[in-house]
Amino acid sequence: MSGLQRRMPVLGRWRGQRGMTLIELLIGMVIMGILSTMLLVTWFSLNKSYIFSVRSYEAHDNARLAVARMEREIRDAQSPAQSNSAMLRAHSSWVEFYTTFNEAGNSDPMLAPHLVVYRMYKDGALWRFEDGHNGLAGIQGISTTSGFDPASLTAAQTKSEQANGEGASLILKNMTNATAKTVAVPLFRYSSVDSDGTVRFDSDVTSVNSVRAILGVQIHVLVDLNPGKAPVYVDFMTLAQLRNQRPL
């Protein structure tokens, strides 16, 4: 009896202690689940925002660099010995011209300029082509007839030009000049001065004399920073003056 009496207070203390019920445990699990879900949603949202910010910055920077490059090359346009015009073709979605930009020895006034084409395709890609890669005159592998419209090309023809065009290089993607607004926004517009001194801008210049009269090129680039989702557009515009071109 003495041993049983010594154990009784201990058993009494055990009976006085209260543990968690099943309902309390379930409520705790639900609360923890809600908190975990909130943390995960916040993390995914922050991660998505970070990725969008990085991609947007890259797209914004690429568009800025593309416009700056086109402006510098067009500004340094210069007529070769066989022509009295620095501009060869002038259309709303593509331009062909002679330039000395980024050529070794371009401080020499006798340096022969090279032929360059910038072309925007209906897939929203801007490509640059350049003569001088195969020893043949002109830019091989792309159509450069006057009045040609890249939007008339099929997907296969577009890929062929982009893959086989001489000196082909991708400059910019996700351009939306043709789709972002109710009316298509010309990538290029060309300024000239009429005989009465009036400055005019044209999107397509076809006659030889009109091409020779071009004094500046307005470059207008629209790019989607969020392709495949809710569009976020960035808009760049500049005017490149042909410093080596003089009125006729």
**Domain contains 42:** no
158 or 14, higher pLDDT: 158
pLDDT for 15 equals 56
Average pLDDT over residues 34-50: 82
pLDDT for 219 equals 96
State the total domains in the chain.
1
**Domain contains 33:** no
pLDDT for 19 equals 66
Euclidean distance between CA atoms 58 and 110, whole angstroms = 39
**Using CA of residue 86, residue 113, residue 122, residue 160, what is the dihedral sign?**
positive
pLDDT for 156 equals 94
| pTM exceeds 0.85 | no
**Domain contains 248:** no
**Domain contains 9:** no
**Domain contains 40:** no
Question: Above 80 in pLDDT, residue 1?
Answer: no
Helix, strand, coil share of the chain (percent; to 5)? 35, 25, 40
Chain mean pLDDT for the chain:
84
Helices and strands (H and E) in the chain: how many: 4, 9
pLDDT-derived band at 24 (thresholds 50, 70, 90) equals: confident
pLDDT for 229 equals 77
How far is Cα of residue 5 from the mean position of the Cα atoms in its chain?
A: 88
**Domain contains 14:** no
pLDDT for 12 equals 53
Question: Above 60 in pLDDT, residue 247?
Answer: no
**Domain contains 166:** yes
**Structural domain of residue 175, as residue ranges?**
50-241
> DSSP code of 128?
E
**Domain contains 120:** yes
pLDDT for 130 equals 93
